[in-house]
Structure 1
Amino acid sequence: MAELFIGLMSGTSMDGVDGVVADFSSGVRVLRHASTGFSDALRAELMALNASGPDELHRGWLAGNALMRVYADVVRQLLADAGIVPAAVSAIGAHGQTVRHRPQQFDGTGYTIQLAQPALLAELTGIRVVADFRSRDVAAGGQGAPLAPFFHQSVFAQPGETVGVLNIGGISNLTVLRADGSMQGFDCGPGNALMDAWCEQHTGRPYDDNGAWAATGRVLPDLLALLLGEPYLSMPPPKSTGRDLFNRPWLAAHLRGFAGAAAADVQATLTEFTARACADDVHRHADALRKLVVCGGGALNGFLTRRLQALLPRTQVVSSAAEGLPPLQVEAAAFAWLAMKCVRGEKLALQSTTGARGARVLGGIYPA
């Protein structure tokens, strides 16, 4: 008998929503995938809410409402494409939109904020919703991120082999699935966030399609060295980051001495920065890695993945599609899987990834 869950993910790239219907009755099987972009107005507001501004509580709540309406549209599309009714779905796993991520800061606990109105989503869809996955981990002393490594382990682990999974969204995160069954996961640093911001600023396009623009430039060694000097990169795991650090002001500050640089050269350097940050973490934490599975939007950037392969000559760099799950489906499927774990009341052992004090059930449930 099918055990159906929907997963919805809007990540740090802030370009839209990916959703899947997955069947967990026997392993992991994605039945349908749907996606939709954000309107320019919603994307701009979500971006703006990453920094302090006027009337944030009011604006944040309304942005959460608008986001849930986009989520509901994706759910309706998934149901129609799969030919199923709402009652057939056990629950929706709704990640929400991260706008602040400051775990363990200020008072020792800190916080992570994902804009979402799960009660509204339950009303709009007639389906039970699981949301707020990260806050319990933060309450237990963890980073609240990344959470996808637990799903990566269930899908990509290979007995007797060490496998890496690199998710490149707005931020990049690495999962190391070791041959002995142990796991480690953490955020490497920037993924697409800086590349997208620079591309949009100079070309008007939201991202550098396939890395074609970056491929026309040359890497600026002094700028690359400055970017790689960011202290976060050398911090030991567990660690996580977001647009709180890697944002437009951070980039502008690092570019102050490079006013005459060609825009394409900066794009090439930002692409190399992302590739180096990820490859350096592979060397630090999984130097004997033979296979690196790449997912997220960055997996579709051919120039970036070629740079990763060049920097990791002893490692086979492959798209997650080659492992049975296309890159844009992985994170949405992860939150469907996390919703399933929450509904079942199953705890996840978080210490090796987020640094939390122990295993916890993640998520809050909003009945249909």
Structure 2
Amino acid sequence: MAGELYLGIMSGTSLDGIDLALATIEKGSAKLIDSHFVAMPEKLASDLKELHANHTITLSKLGELDHRLGKLYAESVIALLEKTSFSAKDIVAIGCHGQTIYHQPEGKNPFTMQIGDANIIAARTGIQTVADFRRKDMAFNGQGAPLVPAFHQAVFQQSHSSLVILNIGGIANVSVIQPDGSVTGFDTGPGNGLLDEWCECHTGKPFDENARFAKQGETNTALLTLLLSDNYFSKPFPKSTGREYFNLSWLKKCLQIYGEPIQKEDVQRTLVELTVQTIHQSVKPLGQGKAPTLIVCGGGVHNPLIINGLTNKLPDWTITTTKAYGINEDDMEAMAFAWLAYRRIHHLPANLPSVTGAQKATTLGCVYLPD
């Protein structure tokens, strides 16, 4: 097999589970070999959601969460390799994003924090592991996010029109590749995170499968206008955000300001429209050329109301998914962290200052050896 084998691990802000991707990488070009998904254990997901909601935790609990996630990541890697004909010795490195528990890129003391002990991953799998990808970019005054646009630039061919890769996870983010080769990217705002939280709160289900709950309601335009008035949406990029900001507490504060009785189904439908509107407002001004293309990946690709909403609002765009380019919609971000591990092992810069606002391009991640 040509190229080197790398394994990427991604657990996003949706907290539904862990995506793993095994890829071969040659001269920067990545090809997916296999993938695996591990559902987030209920107790672990519950503890992480509580942390996101309250923003407080004891040091002992934080340390235990870090350990529990490290073990889960390691077990997930072993499970993926058992599906394949490869063993640990065949893998050059693992790239693990970790679980973001707080992201604060602005202010006097900006920081970002991901947990999931990479020492445990390396020790239990026997594979060197690259983690802590975001803080080096922030050390050079960048946002530390998003990091996947550099990977998208390597994977997707430049065209005569804008190419926008949209990942709809807990938070939605875009990578924009323009005809002149320039690349930008940023978080547009809520993706699935608010939808999942409101759905679970009112139906007991962790997500709104096929948008059934949202389809029972109608968009409340007054509430939508209030939600859209948040300062984040009008900020220029580079910008990034997370679930520590757009969460159930944020939504409840907005509902208190709204002050009128509203059906829970209408809130869910309005949150769908919030995701659609904020993506549309972010993407449309960036379209260049006769045939701009929006390529969608992430969990939101399975929400028909979101996809139909984007299709209606961007009639002059071609809207497709990464599957049309040979990559499953749920594997893209895990593949990106396999690629980012490749960049670190080969001492190559991996951030894009045009995306993150960092002062310079630099290597990202720390390497954890198995012995």
Task: Please give the range of the TM-score, normalised by the shorter of the 2 chains.
Answer: over 0.9
How far apart are the structure 2 equivalents of 1:366 and 1:70? 17
Does the residue aligned with 2:101 lie in a helix, a strand or coil?
strand
CA change 1:221–1:310 in 2 (3 A) is same
2:178 is matched with 178
2:19 is matched with 18
Q: CA deviation at 1:41?
A: 1.0
CA deviations on 1:281-332 (whole Å, 9 max, x unpaired) are 0123336562100011111112211111111111111111112111110000
2:6 is matched with 5
Number of aligned residues: 365
1:152 is matched with 152
| Superposed structure 1 runs of 4+ greater than 6 Å apart | none
1:52 lines up with 2:94 in the alignment: no
Does the residue aligned with 1:275 lie in a helix, a strand or coil?
helix
1:308 is matched with 310
1:344 is matched with 346
Percentage identity across aligned positions? 39
1:270 lines up with 2:271 in the alignment: yes
The residue type equivalent to 2:113 in the other structure is I
Q: CA deviation at 1:214?
A: 1.2
State which drifts further: 82-91 or 63-72: 63-72
2:196 is matched with 196
Contact 1:187 1:239 in 2 (8 A): yes
1:284 is matched with 285
Does the residue aligned with 1:68 lie in a helix, a strand or coil?
helix
The residue type equivalent to 2:159 in the other structure is P
1:248 is matched with 248
How far apart are the structure 1 equivalents of 2:81 and 2:285? 43
Does the residue aligned with 1:24 lie in a helix, a strand or coil?
strand
The residue type equivalent to 1:155 in the other structure is V
Contact 1:6 1:89 in 2 (8 A): yes
1:36 lines up with 2:38 in the alignment: yes
Selected match of 1:74 from 73, 76, 89: 76
Q: CA deviation at 1:239?
A: 0.3
State which drifts further: 151-160 or 265-274: 151-160
How far apart are the structure 1 equivalents of 2:332 and 2:210? 19
Contact 1:10 1:17 in 2 (8 A): yes
How far apart are the structure 1 equivalents of 2:339 and 2:163? 20
How far apart are the structure 1 equivalents of 2:131 and 2:353? 21
Does the residue aligned with 1:269 lie in a helix, a strand or coil?
helix
1:363 is matched with 365
The residue type equivalent to 2:138 in the other structure is V
How far apart are the structure 2 equivalents of 1:159 and 1:251? 39
State which drifts further: 91-100 or 207-216: 207-216
TM-score, normalisation: structure 2 = 0.95
The residue type equivalent to 2:102 in the other structure is R
1:135 is matched with 135
How far apart are the structure 2 equivalents of 1:54 and 1:186? 29
Spell out the pairing of 1:80-229 with structure 2 (5 A cutoff): 80-107=82-109, 110-229=110-229
Does the residue aligned with 1:145 lie in a helix, a strand or coil?
coil
Does the residue aligned with 2:355 lie in a helix, a strand or coil?
coil
Q: Say what the alpha-carbon RMSD is for the aligned residues.
A: 1.4
The residue type equivalent to 1:275 in the other structure is V
How far apart are the structure 1 equivalents of 2:357 and 2:89? 37
CA change 1:252–1:349 in 2 (3 A) is closer
Contact 1:13 1:169 in 2 (8 A): yes
Contact 1:176 1:286 in 2 (8 A): no
The residue type equivalent to 1:250 in the other structure is W
Does the residue aligned with 2:32 lie in a helix, a strand or coil?
strand
1:295 is matched with 297
Does the residue aligned with 1:314 lie in a helix, a strand or coil?
coil
2:63 is matched with 61
1:260 lines up with 2:271 in the alignment: no
CA deviations on 1:211-254 (whole Å, 9 max, x unpaired) are 22212211000001001101000000000000121011100011
Does the residue aligned with 1:327 lie in a helix, a strand or coil?
coil
1:324 is matched with 326
CA deviations on 1:50-78 (whole Å, 9 max, x unpaired) are 343241x2211211111112111221122
The residue type equivalent to 2:7 in the other structure is I
The residue type equivalent to 1:240 in the other structure is S
Does the residue aligned with 1:69 lie in a helix, a strand or coil?
helix
How far apart are the structure 2 equivalents of 1:212 and 1:349? 39
How far apart are the structure 1 equivalents of 2:127 and 2:354? 33
The residue type equivalent to 1:366 in the other structure is Y
How far apart are the structure 2 equivalents of 1:36 and 1:79? 13
How far apart are the structure 2 equivalents of 1:145 and 1:97? 14
How far apart are the structure 2 equivalents of 1:141 and 1:104? 10
Contact 1:19 1:75 in 2 (8 A): yes
Contact 1:104 1:138 in 2 (8 A): no
State which drifts further: 150-159 or 219-228: 150-159
CA change 1:84–1:224 in 2 (3 A) is same
